[in-house]
Amino acid sequence: MASTDEDRMRKQREAGERESAKLWRACRTVHEMVRDRGYQLSDAEVTMSFDAFKQKYTTDDGSISRKMMNFSASPTLEMIKRYSNPVTAHDLHPSSPDIGTIWVEFLPDSNVGIKQMRAFAQHLTANNFHTGILITGVNITPAALKIIPAVASETRIECFMEADLLVNITHHELVPQHVLLSKEERTALLQRYRLKDTQLPRIQLGDPVARYLGLRRGQVVKIIRKSETAGRYASYRLCV
Amino acid sequence: MSSYPATSATSSKTKEERDREVALYHANLIQQRKDIELEILLSTETLIDYPLARSPYDASNPSPADAKTFKELLRPFQPSDYDALIVERNINEHCGYALCPNPRVKEEGGGRFRILGMNGKAKDFKVVEKEELEKWCSPACAKRALYVRVQLSETVAWERGAMENAANIDLLDEPKSEDGSLAERMEKMDIETDNAAGKKDAANLALERGDKTMAARNALVNINIQEKDVSKVPQAPSLDDKDLSGRLDSMHLTLEGHTSTFGSRRERRHNEELDGANIDDGEEDSEEDTDWQL
Ligand SMILES: [Zn+2]
């Protein structure tokens, strides 16, 4: 009897450990993602070890508290510059860059519907967060996803599933480096090649890399590939 | 009669004007669609926490006010939107039927299926998915919810006709309280005296106008119905007509006044070929002309 009890305890502990490891990896990927987009995060926050992670987020009952993993980050000066609208002959006083503080929330709920999404949107607007990333363990209902365009004028909501964040796709050797062009760089590129933006090859908004970088419709990314014959070469894609 | 207002109107416009009109038309359609989708979303959000009135009202006897709002909010819903509402209510542990104040049941134990009606008659015997059972507080609510669902139109709201959109939804269990049922009956009476016949006429008129969908309502084509001017007193046809001699060859082909067009169409085509006219255009025009005359 005692041995089966011990057995069960050991199995439970192992399952708990696996769950913690999954959350640690998702947490790490989302920190890398937020930093890669240009928000300010320290190395310590991004490259936290598993032990440090467990120490920081484990609650009294031994499980990881997702609520404690939530965080916010502000854009770096470089990011603000990349999103700024250049002064042109037509536009002497361009609007300020459409970028701001980002809020990342891990939702523990086993069902995510309209109520949870509405609460998330309200949290973002109440605290003046420009962008929010909602990370869930389950699929969000289709009706709840319709809230995102409905509140788009107030705040920008993106959703990821924990399972999608277990590995950082941009670290895969077959995924080339994607770099977002600033508006000035974009204009210069189109002028240099005498192109309209619609003549560029495209990248979909729903493309995993586009989602990782939080690309918006109309933005242009530079894609840098390594080639054995040509060294490094760049191509450009318009986000549609 | 022979000139179409729409064609004469558009021909005087420049290409840019027409392009702009087309763009505006499509933008309007998209906006309309977005508005309705948002309306459905907000209604779903409202109905998650329904009913507002509690005891003594319940699903078998809902409060008149809740029942009324429920019916109104459901108007633009398709069955799929209704299913989404049930999912959202279940997430919040409510019974899937929006006029029921009870929590949904949670079946104990695992397994995907449950057996129902074991000690009743053979026809009551059913194997049901546990997940399906857990949507409701009771089988009665499952019935009530389904009764509403089958009344919803499969057509998306922005493509429905005016009549289809105004259709009323009936509940399996309508409110029973005095004031409410009285109010409802009075409302129905109003509809019957004023509108029953009028509704049908309006539907027929809408059909005749081609005013069927929202798309048609703000369509690019201006449809005006022009009555034919009648200047002389109508006369019944008689055999003494002067042109009778011309019809003598084909009169035996006439059925209740209608002459089949086999011979005449061939003749017409022959004439058109002689005239060098475009046959296709001629055909189309003549077909539309007959439509208008009908
Ligand atoms: Zn119920």
Instruction: Please tell me whether residues A111 and A208 are part of one structural domain.
Output: no
Instruction: Please tell me whether residues A126 and A216 are part of one structural domain.
Output: no
Q: What is the pLDDT of residue A94?
A: 85
Instruction: Please tell me whether residues A16 and A106 are part of one structural domain.
Output: yes
Give the residue-averaged pLDDT of B205-222: 58
pTM recorded for the entire structure = 0.73
Q: What ipTM does the predicted assembly reach? A: 0.84
Which stretch of A98-102, A166-170, B38-42, B108-112 has the lowest confidence by average pLDDT?
B108-112
B78 contact residues in A (CB cutoff 8 A): none
A118 contact residues in B (CB cutoff 8 A): 45
Residue A46 lies in a domain: yes
Give the residue-averaged pLDDT of B249-266: 65
Residue B257 lies in a domain: no
Among chain A residues, CA nearest to B35: A150
Query: Cβ contact (<8 Å) for A143 and B91?
Result: no
Distance A138 CA to ligand 1 centre (A): 26
**Of B149, B178, B207, at which residue does a domain stop?**
B178
DSSP labels, B157-208: GGGS-HHHHHPPPPPSS---SHHHHHHHHHHHHHIIIIIHHHHHHHHHHHHH
Residue B231 lies in a domain: no
Q: Which of the two residues, A87 and A179, has the higher pLDDT score?
A: A179
Q: What is the pLDDT of residue B66?
A: 93
**Of A145, A167, A189, at which residue does a domain stop?**
A167
Give the residue-averaged pLDDT of A63-75: 94
Residue labelled with tokens 């009551």: B124
Q: What is the pLDDT of residue A76?
A: 96
Q: Which of the two residues, A99 and B265, has the higher pLDDT score?
A: A99
Per-window interface: A 117-146 vs B, CB < 8 A: 118, 141-144, 146
**Of A138, A167, A196, at which residue does a domain stop?**
A167
Give the residue from A54, A165, A152 showing the smallest Cα distance to A106. A165
Residue B199 lies in a domain: yes
As for how many domains chain B has, the answer is 2
Residue B158 lies in a domain: yes
**Of A167, A191, A216, at which residue does a domain stop?**
A167
Residue B265 lies in a domain: no
Check whether A123 has a pLDDT greater than 90: yes
The confidence band for B230, taking pLDDT boundaries of 50, 70 and 90, is confident
Instruction: Please tell me whether residues A163 and A176 are part of one structural domain.
Output: no
Check whether B193 has a pLDDT greater than 60: no
The answer to whether residue A114 neighbours chain B at the CB level (below 8 Å) is yes
Give the residue-averaged pLDDT of A83-108: 90
Q: Which of the two residues, B254 and B83, has the higher pLDDT score?
A: B83
pLDDT tens-place string over residues A26-46: 999 999 999 999 999 999 999
Distance B38 CA to ligand 1 centre (A): 27
Instruction: Please tell me whether residues B94 and B161 are part of one structural domain.
Output: yes
Check whether A83 has a pLDDT greater than 80: yes
Q: Among the ranges A82-86, B9-13, B98-102, B261-265, which has the highest mean pLDDT value?
A: B98-102
Distance B47 CA to ligand 1 centre (A): 14
Query: Cβ contact (<8 Å) for A143 and B48?
Result: no
Give the Cα separation of A207 and A214 in Å (integer).
Answer: 10
Instruction: Please tell me whether residues A158 and A180 are part of one structural domain.
Output: no
Check whether B109 has a pLDDT greater than 80: no
The confidence band for B1, taking pLDDT boundaries of 50, 70 and 90, is very low
Instruction: Please tell me whether residues A93 and A120 are part of one structural domain.
Output: yes
Residue labelled with tokens 């070929």: B273
Instruction: Please tell me whether residues A191 and A156 are part of one structural domain.
Output: no
Instruction: Please tell me whether residues A34 and A92 are part of one structural domain.
Output: yes
Check whether B273 has a pLDDT greater than 70: no
Residue A135 lies in a domain: yes
Residue B208 lies in a domain: yes
Give the Cα separation of B88 and B142 in Å (integer).
Answer: 16
pLDDT tens-place string over residues A183-204: 999 999 999 999 998 999 999 9
Check whether B7 has a pLDDT greater than 50: no
Which stretch of A137-151, B18-32, B45-59, B242-256 has the lowest confidence by average pLDDT?
B242-256
Residue B202 domain boundaries: 189-222
Instruction: Please tell me whether residues A207 and A97 are part of one structural domain.
Output: no
Instruction: Please tell me whether residues B94 and B201 are part of one structural domain.
Output: no
Instruction: Please tell me whether residues A82 and A117 are part of one structural domain.
Output: yes
A7: tokens are 């057995």
The confidence band for B292, taking pLDDT boundaries of 50, 70 and 90, is very low
For A141, which of B38, B81, B84 is closest by C-beta distance? Answer: B84
Residues forming a β-bridge with B189:
none
Query: Which domain CATH number covers A94?
Result: 3.40.1340.10
Q: At what angle do helices A114-126 and B15-48 cross, to 10 degrees?
A: 110
For A150, which of B41, B81, B88 is closest by C-beta distance? Answer: B41
Q: What is the pLDDT of residue A25?
A: 96
Q: What is the pLDDT of residue B4?
A: 47
Q: Which of the two residues, B110 and A236, has the higher pLDDT score?
A: A236
Residue A57 lies in a domain: no
Q: What is the pLDDT of residue B282?
A: 43
Instruction: Please tell me whether residues A71 and A41 are part of one structural domain.
Output: yes
Residue A207 lies in a domain: yes
Q: With helix as H, strand as E and coil as C, how does A5-31 read?
A: HHHHHHHHHHHHHHHHHHHHHHHHHHH
Q: What is the pLDDT of residue B274?
A: 64
Mean pLDDT value across chain B: 75
Instruction: Please tell me whether residues A114 and A17 are part of one structural domain.
Output: yes
Between A and B, how many residue pairs show a Cβ–Cβ distance under 8 A? 34
Query: Cβ contact (<8 Å) for A141 and B37?
Result: no
Distance B42 CA to ligand 1 centre (A): 22
Residue A81 lies in a domain: yes
Among B88, B106, B134, pick the best mutation site for testing chain A contact (most A Cβ within 10 A). Answer: B88
Residue B75 lies in a domain: yes
Mean pLDDT value across chain A: 93
Query: Cβ contact (<8 Å) for A146 and B37?
Result: yes
Instruction: Please tell me whether residues B117 and B72 are part of one structural domain.
Output: yes
The confidence band for B124, taking pLDDT boundaries of 50, 70 and 90, is low
Give the residue from A218, A190, A173, A149 showing the smallest Cα distance to B30. A149
The confidence band for B291, taking pLDDT boundaries of 50, 70 and 90, is very low
Q: What is the pLDDT of residue A159?
A: 97
Give the Cα separation of A121 and B100 in Å (integer).
Answer: 28
Check whether B95 has a pLDDT greater than 50: yes
Distance A116 CA to ligand 1 centre (A): 23
Give the residue-averaged pLDDT of A116-123: 97
Instruction: Please tell me whether residues B72 and B154 are part of one structural domain.
Output: yes
Residue A39 lies in a domain: yes
Query: Cβ contact (<8 Å) for B91 and A146?
Result: no
Instruction: Please tell me whether residues B100 and B200 are part of one structural domain.
Output: no
**What is the nearest CA distance from A148 to chain B, expressed in angstroms?**
11
Distance B61 CA to ligand 1 centre (A): 12
As for how many domains chain A has, the answer is 2
Residue A235 domain boundaries: 170-239
A147 contact residues in B (CB cutoff 8 A): 41
The confidence band for B186, taking pLDDT boundaries of 50, 70 and 90, is low
Check whether B185 has a pLDDT greater than 60: no
What is the DSSP-derived secondary structure letter of residue A152?
T
Query: Which domain CATH number covers B64?
Result: 1.25.40.820
Instruction: Please tell me whether residues B201 and B58 are part of one structural domain.
Output: no
Query: Which domain CATH number covers A215?
Result: 3.90.940.20
